[in-house]
Amino acid sequence: MEFLEISEPVWELLARFTINIVAISALVFGLYYRRYRDKEMATTASMFNIFAFSVLTILSSVDFSIAAGFGLFAILALFSLRSEQIGKIEIAYFFGSIAIAVICSVLGTGIALVILVNIFVLIGAYLIDHPRFMQSINKVRLTLDKIDAHALSDVEKMRSELSARLGVDVLSFEISELNYVNDLARLKIYYRG
């Protein structure tokens, strides 16, 4: 009945998995979901963390060549090619979920160091993405059905007209397309609502 014996590596694995679950819960549900309420991204990042933790735990306990590592990153690259685009904040939290999985799963580091590094990651994410630390600016793409005569010549007048038209404080804007054939203007507007 050798397979029923619980050895020390199993306890270490359970400790690492527990640290991983606590850290990912704090990052994804304590920070990201509370601030952005994106269930799909929270679920994806959490599941990806658990999957990455599992794969990396196995890979860190066996001989793992550089070629296999490149293969793993090639698989991750395919996800980005096949997935819809996500925002920069989502990418940061998604990478954070992978980083936590890597930190927790790589054997050879002490449990105390794993806990300490996870604490640093969580404190960093909390402070950098805190709403009081950096004021959020909203962004929207807008298509105007008429090109204003001063769209390029008088930026300040265009900005104030956009503010009045939209009812928000337009801080800046970028013109991505002017179509004189159809009399359309496509803009990216940065505003504080």
Q: Could you please report the per-residue DSSP string of 111-149?
A: HHHHHHHHHHHHHHHHHHT-TTTS---EEEEEEESS--T
Supply 63's token pair: 């001989």
Q: In sequence order, what are the beta bridge partners of 191?
A: 138, 170
The domain spans of the chain are 7-128, 138-192
Helix, strand, coil percentages for the chain (3-state, nearest 5): 60, 15, 25
Looking only at the bridges linking them, the beta strands covering 184-192 and 169-179 are: antiparallel
What per-residue confidence (pLDDT) applies to 82?
Answer: 55
Predicted local confidence at residue 6, as pLDDT:
47
Count Cβ atoms below 10 Å from residue 188 Cβ, excluding itself: 13
Burial 46-70 (b: 16+ CB within 10 A, else e): bebbeebbeebbebeeeeeeeeeee
Low-confidence ranges of the chain (pLDDT < 70): 1-7, 63-84, 136, 193
